[in-house]
Amino acid sequence: MSPGMASSSRLDAILLTVLVQTLSTGIYMLVFLQAFPKILRRTRKVYTTILVILFSLVITHLSANWSLLWAIFIVHNETRITMIEQSSKVHGQVALIGCIGAYFGLWLGDVILLWRCYVLWTQNKILLFVFATLMLGEVVFAAASRKIDTVLKVLMFISFSTTILATALIIYRIHQFSQHIGNGLGRYSATVLVLAESGALYAATQIAVCVLLVTHGTAYNSASTFQEISFWAGIVTPMAGIAPTLIALRISLGTALGPNNASQSVTSLQFNRSLPPAATVHTSFGAE
């Protein structure tokens, strides 16, 4: 690929990232603004605060990318060369802010999903140890490494591993719940339940990014790879916010699937059949 084509592809990738991320974040904003009043009334303040922080981090990441886009395509749009040069300069200045927003956004999204899985599995200590080790490992590696590209790649794979593990365990638990009901759930109800409570869409976007990273090596070796990674990277950060918000909404409304019947809130998370449904107070991600 000629230098000119590579430059055009890079600029296209930057523009594509921001456009896709803006669309995805817009969907996230609609979900968040619709769900937040209900979540605020019916869940603990600590979980509400975490969701607000997560929302702020996703917006921070989008704002950093828009700053890059504005500097390249508006301020320094004299020639293609000046635009490419500015992309490298501005990228260095705003990368830290954008990466902090993206990293901690993904990290918080993972924490909420992992905690949900941990509670669903009756607070299994082995799961807690595994999840805590993975999440602390992310933080330690991010603090120890000085190469942003390497950090993002490794953290994406760690996040991918934890998300896939938690999603698979939640889906399996949902399957157990549906079998416990007797006739199980209909396909539509089961699909909605899996999509809303397991973080499956979030996991799917991470799979796409990780497959591209494995297939093509580093995300910055070729223009085509950069475009593909940019597309999915624009989706994965907002999805890290959408998945926990949907989970929190269903919990706050008491519509999550429970072990005794399809309408009981899964916030009880007690698999002792002698426990009456009334013993559960729907105020948190776990039982009270």
d(CA 106, CA 58): 9
Taking the chain, what is the end-to-end CA distance rounded to the nearest angstrom? 61
Nearest CA to 177 out of 120, 128, 136 is that of: 120
| Token code pair at residue 167 | 């999603």
Q: What mean pLDDT value characterizes the chain?
A: 74
Residue range 157-162: average pLDDT?
Answer: 84
pLDDT of residue 197: 78
pLDDT of residue 89: 62
pLDDT in tens, 107-126: 899 898 888 888 888 888 89
pLDDT of residue 150: 67
d(CA 283, CA 12): 46
pLDDT of residue 265: 42
d(CA 103, CA 51): 15
| Token code pair at residue 171 | 């889906």
d(CA 83, CA 64): 17
Of residues 158 and 80, more confidently modeled: 158
Residue 180 has pLDDT above 50, yes or no: yes
**Residues for the chain: how many in total?**
288
d(CA 227, CA 216): 12
Residue 280 has pLDDT above 90, yes or no: no
Residue labelled with tokens 């949907």: 246
Strands (E), the chain: none
Contact 169, 114 (CB under 8 A): no
| Backbone φ and ψ of 276, nearest 5° | -70, 145
Residue 71 has pLDDT above 70, yes or no: yes
pLDDT of residue 264: 44
Residues 6+ apart with CB under 8 A from 260: 180, 273, 277
Residue labelled with tokens 């929190």: 248
pTM over 0.85: no
Nearest CA to 83 out of 1, 8, 3 is that of: 8
- Number of other residues whose CB lies within 10 A of the CB of residue 276: 9
Instruction: Tell me the percentage of the chain whose pLDDT exceeds 70.
Output: 66
Contact 128, 118 (CB under 8 A): yes
**What residue segments make up the domains of the chain, in order of their start?**
7-262
Q: Tell me the pLDDT band of 196, cut-offs 50, 70 and 90.
A: confident
- Number of other residues whose CB lies within 10 A of the CB of residue 261: 12
